[in-house]
């Protein structure tokens, strides 16, 4: 009798813990529906910062400019009239609807997709061998603000010079390391890049090209914990000689020229474990009761 009871217990355990576990995925993309609420998703922040004009005699102040409402997101570097410039892009996805729907421990990873819209370079010297590199932004820079401007950053909006710029700049909050998030390890996690994408050697055609980057489960879990600073996209080589330059454009959510399918996208994979059926629970409970009743 006890052997039969033990068999019931074992069967119940198997039923409870090994029924129907399967891989699942959800996608966050501006303009599509939130995978859990069903409402249109508008949780993507994306902008870029630009050091252009970062010299006193230029009369150009793009390093104070917020590009929150710009139709383009640029990543690039180069020289103009002997002055170097760098452009870096920031992206962040609100994934808070995962809370209560997916156990963070069940997250297995993710894929970030950015769409290359334009690939420009100094045609006189040829395209340098370059790439787009994506790194997590550190928690110290968590509170950057996309803004809704295409001019001087005000009201805490993000610029090259400041994480949160107030104009005039009294009371502005600097980046944790240096202007333009240029300090590896302090402004961005250089030790754990999400990957790199080798830029094609010719101009991009009429269809945006997907650039994919792997997002580890640990980073997604960290973001769900309340420290979501997003990611930084930059060129692998940001130092050019002469008047060379290398610059790309990435489709962004404010761009109305492309369909929603080309907006920045974050796909998250996780292990889905369905609730066990009532009969299986009854089997497990029955086995436990039988064991108790058959004690000597």
Closest-CA residue to 42 (of 50, 32, 52): 32
The verdict on 1 and 133 lying in the same domain is no
CB–CB of 131/283 below 8 Å?
no
The verdict on 280 and 164 lying in the same domain is no
| Per-residue pLDDT tens digits for 116-172 | 987 766 544 545 678 999 999 999 999 999 999 888 888 899 999 999 999 876 789
The verdict on 102 and 236 lying in the same domain is yes
The verdict on 239 and 289 lying in the same domain is no
The verdict on 287 and 145 lying in the same domain is no
The verdict on 44 and 64 lying in the same domain is yes
The verdict on 151 and 12 lying in the same domain is no
Burial class (CB in 10 A: 0-12, 13-18, 19+), 203: exposed
Model confidence, pTM: 0.84
Place of tokens 């550190």: 138
Partners of residue 266 on adjacent β-strands: 28, 112
The verdict on 266 and 167 lying in the same domain is yes
State which residues form the domain around 252.
23-273
Provide the number of structural domains found in the chain. 2
CB–CB of 50/73 below 8 Å?
no
Residue 207 vs residue 291, higher pLDDT: 207
Q: 156 is written with which tokens?
A: 């805490």
The verdict on 203 and 279 lying in the same domain is no
The verdict on 16 and 28 lying in the same domain is no
């Amino acid at each position: 009798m006890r052997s039969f009871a033990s068999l019931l217990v074992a069967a119940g355990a198997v039923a409870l813990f090994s029924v129907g576990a399967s891989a699942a995925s959800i996608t966050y993309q501006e303009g599509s529906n939130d995978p859990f609420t069903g409402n249109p998703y508008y949780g993507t922040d994306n902008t870029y910062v630009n050091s252009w004009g970062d010299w006193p005699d230029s009369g150009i102040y793009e390093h104070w400019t917020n590009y929150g409402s710009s139709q383009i997101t640029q990543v690039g570097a180069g020289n103009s009239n002997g002055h170097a410039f760098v452009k870096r892009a920031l992206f962040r996805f609100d994934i808070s609807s995962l809370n209560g729907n997916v156990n963070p421990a069940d997250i297995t990873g993710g894929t970030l997709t950015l769409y290359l819209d334009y690939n420009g370079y100094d045609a006189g010297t040829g395209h340098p061998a370059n790439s787009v590199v994506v790194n997590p932004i550190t928690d110290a820079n968590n509170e950057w603000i996309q803004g809704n401007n295409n001019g001087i950053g005000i009201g805490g909006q993000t610029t090259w010079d400041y994480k949160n710029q107030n104009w005039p700049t009294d009371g502005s909050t600097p980046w944790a390391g240096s202007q333009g998030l240029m300090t590896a390890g302090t402004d961005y996690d250089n030790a754990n890049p999400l990957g790199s994408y080798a830029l094609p050697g010719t101009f991009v055609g009429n269809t945006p090209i997907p650039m994919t980057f792997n997002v580890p489960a640990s980073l997604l879990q960290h973001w769900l914990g309340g420290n979501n600073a997003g990611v930084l996209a930059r060129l692998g080589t940001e130092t050019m000689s002469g008047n060379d330059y290398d610059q790309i454009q990435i489709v962004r959510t404010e761009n109305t020229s492309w369909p929603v399918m080309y907006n920045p996208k974050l796909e998250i994979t996780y292990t889905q474990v369905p609730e066990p059926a009532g009969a299986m629970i009854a089997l497990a409970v029955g086995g436990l009761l039988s064991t108790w009743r058959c004690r000597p």
